[in-house]
Amino acid sequence: MSASLNLILRAAAFAAHKHRDDRRKDLAATPYINHPLALAQVLAEEGGVEDAVTIAAALLHDTIEDTQTRYEELVEAFGVEVADVVMEVSDDKTLAAAQRKRLQVEHAPGLSSRAVLVKLADKICNLRDMASNPPHQWTLQRRKDYFDWARQVVERMPHVNERLRARFDEAYARQGELERGHDAHRN
Which element (helix H / strand E) includes 7?
Answer: helix 3-18
Among the candidate windows 11-19, 41-49, 54-62, 65-73, which touches Zn ion by CB under 5 A?
Answer: 54-62
Q: What is the largest CA-CA distance in the chain?
A: 53
66 catalytic, yes or no? yes
Neighbours of 140 (CB within 10 A): 15
Catalytic residue among 22, 46, 65, 91: 65
CB-closest chain residue to Zn ion: 122
Name the residue nearer to Zn ion (CB basis): 138 or 182: 138
Evaluate whether 150 touches 105 at the Cβ level (below 8 Å): no
Q: How far is the CB of 186 from Zn ion (least distance, A)?
A: 28
- For this structure, is 183 an active site residue? no
Q: Give CA separation, 74 vs 8, 15, 55, 71, 125, in Å.
A: 13, 11, 14, 5, 24
Looking at 55, 120, 121, 122, which residue binds Zn ion (CB under 5 A)? 122
Q: Tell whether residue 129 is a contact of Zn ion (CB under 5 A).
A: no
* Residue numbers annotated as active site: 65-66
